[in-house]
Structure 1
Amino acid sequence: MSDEPGTPSRTGSTAGSPAAAAAGSSHTTAAVIPAAGRGVRLGPGAPKALRTLNGTPMLVHAVRAMAGSRAVSLVVVVAPPDGAAEVEALLAEHSWPPGTELLVVPGGDTRQESVRLGIGVLPESVTAVLVHDAARPLVPVDTVDAVIAAVRNGAPAVVPAVPLADTVKQVEPQSGGGPEPVVATPERALLRAVQTPQGFDRALLARAHATVTHDVTDDASMVEQLGVRVVVVPGHEEAFKVTRPLDLVLAEAVLARRRINDGF
């Protein structure tokens, strides 16, 4: 198996060349999970997506979250450029819902490039795409389904989001790390903290990645730059992003609660 960028590897019931698989595929909704980042804020060690929660890598939790939706039958994992074989072997160690197909493709130097590479290997039959952060391993399936439903009902771009708990201040950054003057206090009721998976019409997302190259904070912001309306559906407090060591502690606590309440 090659680890050249853009060369996919398959895990699951479907085998053969990407072209042959695409020709015979009936997928309409697929999920792309960029997992090529190093996660330096979590400290030294394995790439962030491969850090474990309850003994299982975050990436596996994230793939399970996408595969848990009955509407998603293809999950594309974008691995570190030199780690596709490792990720494919890791995913092969776990069981997945019947009918789920996993596709591993080496990523690029940036998240945007990795997502673009993931979109590039999707079968032509895919009309809706979810883009999900591997660092949000605990998103509930109800949130995934809500995003998919909104896209299928005609929204070209959908993001899950939650209201802000804290007051937000806009400041004027100062060189040298000095105190920063407050220049505005946005109305908190009008603000949302955006999560993933973000859902898109496949053709729109591909066009955004082909044309937008600056001021990229997430895939939805790229669509916004095309002048296309993005809509929000309710997110969930458990879909938080694991970025710092304290987030790992919180994620472990969520999993412990799930084991007690749901037998997860």
Structure 2
Amino acid sequence: MHAVGIVAAAGSGLRLGADLPKALVPLAGRPLVAWSVDALLAGGVAEVVVAVPAEQRAAFETALPGVRLVDGGATRTASVRAALSAAHDLGDAVLVHDAARPLTPPEVVARVLAALDGGARAVVPVLPVVDTTVAVDADGVITGALPREQLRRVQTPQGFDRATLVEAYGRLPAGAELTDDAAVVHSIGVPVRTVAGDERAAKITVAHDLALAEKQVRG
């Protein structure tokens, strides 16, 4: 199986308090996106395509020498579409990863690839929900507890048979924005398998997350 990785890296760094794209924010001296690309390659992906902000393309070329770049869109969905189009000739499997999950262990990538190689058409890494989880009404009043035994936290990279992901995006209505690529595939009725994720694959969203990642890297 020949797999290509797609990294969505066109998001802003506003919630991190940065004046540059989130993917270029440094972690231990290296851009977040460089960590994410390395994780995919170390886990068994053959090549990576990164969707970047068009106006920052030169900066990404400096940060990712030799990596194929494509101009991303105004939304994550648009960026993945663009990268998927650029990767049409690169492999029979696609792993879509967030630049904001820089410390994803290669073992997670390998588990996703193994499930695809075993015949799954869509695979996501997940973690159990350990906190009590409740539903609330419009006023913030608890209406009931959710059975956490059936709940999972979804991570990336999310893996797909390439033809399946292309079909799912082709059938997605114009203007539709789903939360992730697994939701896009699930919308056309394709079962999504799960494999074990990893707490180290936490998403960096705010400055506190970045500080925790710095501590993790520096031991």
What TM-score bracket applies, with the shorter chain setting the length? Answer: over 0.9
Alpha-carbon offset, residue 123 of structure 1: 4.3
- State how far apart, in whole Å, the 2-side matches of 1:124 and 1:53 are: 32
- Written as runs of structure 1 = structure 2, the 5 A alignment for 1:87-126 is 87-92=60-65, 102-126=67-91
- Secondary structure of 2:7 counterpart: strand
> What's the % identity of the aligned pairs?
42
> Which of structures 1 and 2 has the bigger CA Rg?
1
Aligned match for 1:130, one of 79, 91, 95? 95
**Does 2:59 correspond to 1:86?**
yes
Alpha-carbon offset, residue 249 of structure 1: 1.0
**Does 2:202 correspond to 1:237?**
no
Task: After superposing the two structures, state which structure 1 stretch, 59-68 or 206-215, moved more.
Answer: 206-215
Is the CA contact 1:83–1:106 (under 8 Å) kept in the aligned structure 2? no
Is the CA contact 1:33–1:78 (under 8 Å) kept in the aligned structure 2? yes
- Secondary structure of 1:36 counterpart: coil
Runs of 4+ displaced beyond 6 Å: none
Distance 1:85 1:44, change over 3 A: closer
- State how far apart, in whole Å, the 1-side matches of 2:114 and 2:77 are: 25
- Structure 2 counterpart of 1:88, one-letter code: E
- Structure 2 counterpart of 1:113, one-letter code: A
- Structure 1 counterpart of 2:48, one-letter code: V
- Secondary structure of 1:138 counterpart: coil
Deviations 1:79-104 (CA, angstroms, capped at 9, x unpaired): 11212222112212xxxxxxxx6211
RMSD: 1.4
Aligned match for 1:139, one of 81, 104, 107? 104
Aligned equivalent of 1:255: 217
- Secondary structure of 1:196 counterpart: coil
Per the normalisation by structure 2, the TM-score is 0.95
Aligned match for 2:4, one of 30, 47, 55? 30
Is the CA contact 1:150–1:158 (under 8 Å) kept in the aligned structure 2? yes
Alpha-carbon offset, residue 125 of structure 1: 4.9
Is the CA contact 1:147–1:160 (under 8 Å) kept in the aligned structure 2? yes
Per the normalisation by structure 1, the TM-score is 0.79
**Does 2:61 correspond to 1:61?**
no
Alpha-carbon offset, residue 44 of structure 1: 3.7
Aligned equivalent of 1:210: 170
Is the CA contact 2:52–2:70 (under 8 Å) kept in the aligned structure 1? yes
- State how far apart, in whole Å, the 1-side matches of 2:25 and 2:189 are: 37
- State how far apart, in whole Å, the 2-side matches of 1:209 and 1:32 are: 14
- Structure 1 counterpart of 2:162, one-letter code: R
* Number of aligned residue pairs: 217
Return 5+ residue gaps in structure 2 as ranges. Answer: none
